[in-house]
């Protein structure tokens, strides 16, 4: 069962990375480092935030230095 949880987590990570690439044009170091914190959210909330927040808002909420 542990391998299944790992698969689900990897799929969620790939989904988050792909949405960030589509929304922001690329996945830079700042965004990539914030993904681990984002993945702690429930899937529905994560998806909503990835679709609605800007790059700067995501970094403000999940870390990274946008300045």
pLDDT tens sequence across 34-64: 999 999 999 999 999 999 999 999 999 998 5
- Domain region containing 18: 2-61
In a domain, 48, yes or no: yes
Query: Rounded to whole angstroms, how far apart are CA atoms 29 and 23?
Result: 15
What three-state secondary structure class fits 22?
helix
In a domain, 66, yes or no: no
pLDDT at 48: 96
- How many structural domains compose the chain? 1
Residue 33 near residue 63, CB atoms below 8 Å: yes
In a domain, 67, yes or no: no
pLDDT at 8: 87
In a domain, 56, yes or no: yes
The whole-chain average pLDDT of the chain stands at 90
- Whole-prediction pTM value? 0.80
Say how far residue 10 (Cα) sits from the centre of its chain.
12
Query: Rounded to whole angstroms, how far apart are CA atoms 42 and 51?
Result: 14
């Amino acid at each position: 069962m542990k391998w299944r949880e790992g698969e689900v987590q990897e799929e969620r990570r790939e989904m988050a990375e792909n949405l960030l690439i589509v929304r922001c044009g690329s996945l830079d170091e700042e965004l990539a480092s914030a993904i681990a914190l984002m993945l702690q959210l429930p899937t529905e909330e994560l998806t909503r935030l990835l679709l609605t927040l800007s790059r700067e808002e995501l970094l403000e909420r999940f870390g990274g230095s946008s300045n």
